[in-house]
Chain A
């Protein structure tokens, strides 16, 4: 069973709304990641964190922001959602080793 949780699983929201996608893990992992994935396509890293108060932008430019105030929590925020933000957002975490654990994702649709 996954120990990393994402909410909501599905979200349909209007253009211009502010949204926050939640990601929490109970494994005490220091490293956490946000990936963006279009259907059937590869995952693109948009944000990562190596610990509390540490956040970095990933390889794919994103208008979203993240915060890491607690080890277990790594929320992603869009201040003003647009249709171009429609995608699936996957959160992952890992300890010092190699294994990544992924959440089930949030499928976001902006209308």
Chain B
């Protein structure tokens, strides 16, 4: 079945360092990917997305890399700050038709802790 999973459940970094959070997915039909940030007591918050026709997309301090050959997705956070501490989820969606149309499939989250 479809699944999206993360390699590392926890990541601790020092303030100012760069962070890399990884994600593997198994559905080769996935063509849209999203990274969410979830702080304690809140719902997931959109960070950045990427379509399968792209390899890389940059936002403000964040970059998402997509390697379709090995079905791997990563989120890079530059100059990590204490406010970045949260759980990060990757999610995939197939924009093709069928019963999975439009539904997000989430992986297990990675807990990012940024030490001052």
A residues near B91, Cβ cutoff 8 Å: 43
Q: Contact at A104–B109, with CB atoms within 8 Å?
A: no
- Total A residues in contact with B, Cβ cutoff 8 Å: 26
- Partner among A41, A99, A104 whose Cβ is within 8 Å of the Cβ of B43: A104
Say yes or no: is A79 at the interface (Cβ < 8 Å to chain B): no
Say yes or no: is A108 at the interface (Cβ < 8 Å to chain B): no
Q: Contact at B46–A100, with CB atoms within 8 Å?
A: yes
A31 to B41, CA, bound (A): 24
- Partner among A40, A45, A50 whose Cβ is within 8 Å of the Cβ of B104: A45
A58 to B105, CA, bound (A): 11
Q: Contact at B46–A90, with CB atoms within 8 Å?
A: no
B residues near A43, Cβ cutoff 8 Å: 44, 89, 91, 104, 106
CB-CB nearest in chain B for A10: B41
Q: Contact at A102–B44, with CB atoms within 8 Å?
A: yes
CB distance from B36 to the nearest CB of A (A): 8
Q: Contact at B103–A90, with CB atoms within 8 Å?
A: no
A98 to B50, CA, bound (A): 10
Q: Contact at A40–B87, with CB atoms within 8 Å?
A: yes
Q: Which of A1-44 contact B (CB under 8 A)?
A: 2, 6, 31, 33, 35, 40-44
Q: Which of B8-63 contact A (CB under 8 A)?
A: 9, 32, 34, 36, 41-46, 49
A35 to B103, CA, bound (A): 11
A31 to B103, CA, bound (A): 10
Q: Contact at A105–B103, with CB atoms within 8 Å?
A: no
Q: Contact at B43–A90, with CB atoms within 8 Å?
A: yes
Say yes or no: is B102 at the interface (Cβ < 8 Å to chain A): yes
Q: Contact at A40–B41, with CB atoms within 8 Å?
A: no
With A43-B91, A98-B93 given, can you name 19 additional A-B contacts, CB distance below 8 Å?
Answer: A31-B102, A42-B4, A42-B89, A42-B106, A42-B107, A43-B44, A43-B89, A43-B104, A45-B104, A59-B105, A90-B43, A90-B44, A98-B49, A99-B49, A100-B44, A102-B36, A102-B43, A102-B44, A105-B43
